[in-house]
DNA sequence: GTCTATAGCTGGATAGAC
DNA sequence: GTCTATCCAGCTATAGAC
């Protein structure tokens, strides 16, 4: 599995250069918008000239794909990180909070990952796989709370993406909607969970384990 | 502002030509995407040449603004049309259904009206006014159901836009999320509405998928 | 691998004849 | 008002020297 030393070294150099370009690309889209990425601007930010970019990427779409893959990996890492509790409700809340904050803190990343607004761009299957896994993990956390109906899974995705959507559109950088996660979860569980638990209206700590 | 007959006639001609161009612009964005609108393509669709467009609009943004104003007026008309019931819950459901269907049946229109994705485009105040009024009317329908807390108004907007978002992104042309409106409303009211009045339909148990 | 230079294209917008 | 013709800016991508 070990290549010769020079090969490894070159491979490492190449990868770090790619990563530097991708990093510059993220800075670019955060400043100019996702669709506003241009090879000229990216080259300038990366400290090279446009043709050099084509030594590392085949096309502009190839750069978007690398960004997509990186973002998808970050997303998976955030969502699948250990949950510091065994309480199903707490797990669901934590998962939702992670999702909403991950999306709301970086709108271009959200736009690239979950909204398809780049004309002609489709992520490669390798890049796309983590996102699918993350959705499945979301369904697992719902199942922990007794929510398994596809209809309710759809309501759940609408609920959390609605929070993200409003936060990004109407209060960028703030927390006007992100802070509503816990109350939304309680509302959702009160309606969709099979054995209704006692819930208090406000965000006060409550006793755990009333459900099982 | 010439008021003589010839002036009126010319004004009428000018307006109808403008409307024809705007109509062609809608056809264009439905085919090519909102950001994919080009003056060349628009001119071709409208049966004229690009310079002619500038006889009716000052710029491409000016065309977007005309589209925005038209869409906002349509939106207001749909939302404020008479509600064929006095029941607060039915009114809320109807309003939400109108909103979700209005948005989901025409994604570019939704994108132009409610998401700000055209770089550098801001609607003129005249065009923007109807949308503000529509939001206020939404708050009035919530108030009919006893929901007045800003926090709950925000939850409401997140809820309905989440349905729209998922419907457009994951099932365009279908009704996988739009059909969830009624159940979402019941979930929302169960959580946010004040103690149910004894005279209301709260007595009838909520059941899924049942139309009144 | 990185550069200079440029091809080849498409975009918004305009000049000026009619 | 509408046209032909065009300007000029910006884009992706490539050729070829080093």
The proportion of chain B whose per-residue pLDDT surpasses 70, expressed as a percent, equals: 86
Q: How far apart are CA A114 and CA A117, in angstroms?
A: 9
In a shared domain, residues B4 and B87:
no
Q: How far apart are CA A142 and CA A95, in angstroms?
A: 10
In a shared domain, residues B40 and B65:
no
The dihedral formed by the CA atoms of B98, B102, B103 and B107, expressed in degrees to the nearest 10: 160
In a shared domain, residues B123 and B64:
yes
The proportion of chain A whose per-residue pLDDT surpasses 90, expressed as a percent, equals: 71
In a shared domain, residues A41 and A98:
no
Within a domain: residue B88? yes
The reported pLDDT for the residue numbered A3 is 46
User: What are the two backbone dihedrals, phi and then psi, of residue B119, each rounded to the nearest 5 degrees?
Assistant: -60, 125
| Cα-based distances in Å from B32 to A111, A117, B174 | 19, 12, 20
pLDDT digits (tens, 9 = 90+) for B60-84: 999 999 999 999 999 999 999 999 9
Q: Which residue has the higher pLDDT, B209 or B58?
A: B58
Closest residue to D2 (CA, C1′): B52
In a shared domain, residues A27 and A122:
no
In a shared domain, residues B43 and B147:
no
In a shared domain, residues A188 and A130:
yes
Residue ranges making up the domain that contains B25: 1-57
CB atoms under 10 Å from CB of B82, counted, come to: 5
Asked which of A131-140, A177-186, B155-164, B193-202 is least confident by mean pLDDT, the reply is: B193-202
In a shared domain, residues B147 and B78:
yes
In a shared domain, residues A16 and A105:
no
End position of a domain, from candidates A38, A57, A76 = A57
What's the whole-model pTM score?
A: 0.87
Q: How far apart are CA A15 and CA B110, in angstroms?
A: 41
Q: How confident is the model over B14-28, as a mean pLDDT?
A: 94
Statement: residue B15 has pLDDT above 90: no
Within a domain: residue B164? yes
The reported pLDDT for the residue numbered B194 is 87
Asked if B180 lies within 8 A of A33 by C-beta distance, the reply is: no
Angle at B104 (CA atoms; ends B23, B161), nearest 5 degrees: 125
Pair of tokens at residue A206: 């409550």
Closest residue to D6 (CA, C1′): B51
Query: Chain D: nucleotides under 7 Å from a protein CB?
Result: 1-6, 10-16
Q: How far apart are CA A210 and CA A186, in angstroms?
A: 14
Within a domain: residue B4? yes
Statement: residue A46 has pLDDT above 80: yes
pLDDT digits (tens, 9 = 90+) for B148-190: 999 999 999 999 999 999 999 889 999 999 999 999 999 999 9
In a shared domain, residues B6 and B89:
no
CA of A16 vs chain B CAs: smallest distance (Å):
32
Is A155 touching B (CB cutoff 8 A)?
yes
**CATH code for the domain of B33:** 1.10.10.60
The reported pLDDT for the residue numbered B132 is 78
Is B90 touching A (CB cutoff 8 A)?
no
Q: How confident is the model over A33-42, as a mean pLDDT?
A: 96
- Tokens 């950088």 locate to A173
Pair of tokens at residue A156: 């759940």
Is A17 touching B (CB cutoff 8 A)?
no
The reported pLDDT for the residue numbered A209 is 40
Asked if A169 lies within 8 A of B36 by C-beta distance, the reply is: no
Statement: residue B52 has pLDDT above 80: yes
The reported pLDDT for the residue numbered A199 is 53
Q: How confident is the model over A53-82, as a mean pLDDT?
A: 95
Within 8 A of B177 by CB-CB distance, chain A residues are 154, 158
Q: Are A37 and A28 in contact (CB under 8 A)?
A: yes
Residue of B nearest to A191 (CA): B187
Q: How confident is the model over B21-25, as a mean pLDDT?
A: 98
Within a domain: residue B208? no
**CATH code for the domain of B74:** 1.10.357.10
* Portion 110-139 of B in contact with A at CB < 8 A: 114-117, 119
SS3 A50: helix
Residue of B nearest to A163 (CA): B158
Asked which of A45-59, A117-131, B35-49, B198-212 is least confident by mean pLDDT, the reply is: B198-212
In a shared domain, residues A166 and A187:
yes
pLDDT band at A40 (very low <50, low <70, confident <90, very high): very high
In a shared domain, residues A10 and A46:
yes
Within a domain: residue B212? no
Give, in Å, how far the C1' of C5 lies from the CA of A69.
34
Q: How far apart are CA B212 and CA B203, in angstroms?
A: 14
pLDDT band at A198 (very low <50, low <70, confident <90, very high): low
**Number of structural domains chain A divides into:** 2
End position of a domain, from candidates B41, B57, B73 = B57
Closest residue to C3 (CA, C1′): A49
pLDDT digits (tens, 9 = 90+) for A11-23: 676 779 999 999 9
pLDDT band at A8 (very low <50, low <70, confident <90, very high): low
State the helix-helix crossing angle for B181-192 and B150-170, rounded to 10 degrees. Answer: 160
């Amino acid at each position: 599995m070990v290549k010769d030393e020079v090969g490894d070294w070159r491979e490492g150099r190449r990868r770090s250069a790619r990563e530097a370009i991708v990093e510059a690309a993220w800075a670019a889209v955060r400043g100019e918008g996702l669709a506003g990425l241009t090879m000229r601007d990216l080259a300038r930010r990366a400290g090279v000239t446009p043709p050099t970019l084509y030594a590392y990427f085949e096309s502009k779409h190839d750069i978007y794909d690398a960004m997509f893959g990186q973002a998808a990996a970050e997303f998976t890492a955030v969502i699948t990180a250990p949950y510091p509790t065994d309480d199903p409700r707490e797990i669901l809340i934590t998962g939702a909070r992670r999702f909403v904050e991950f999306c709301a803190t970086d709108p271009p990343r959200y736009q690239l990952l979950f909204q398809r607004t780049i004309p002609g761009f489709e992520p490669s299957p390798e890049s796309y796989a983590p996102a699918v896994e993350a959705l499945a993990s979301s369904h697992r956390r719902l199942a922990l709370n007794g929510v398994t109906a596809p209809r309710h899974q759809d309501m759940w995705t609408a609920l959390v993406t609605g929070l993200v959507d409003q936060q990004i559109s109407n209060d960028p950088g703030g927390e006007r909607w992100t802070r509503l996660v816990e109350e939304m979860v309680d509302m959702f569980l009160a309606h969709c969970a099979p054995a209704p638990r006692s819930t208090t209206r406000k965000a006060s700590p409550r006793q755990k384990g009333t459900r099982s």
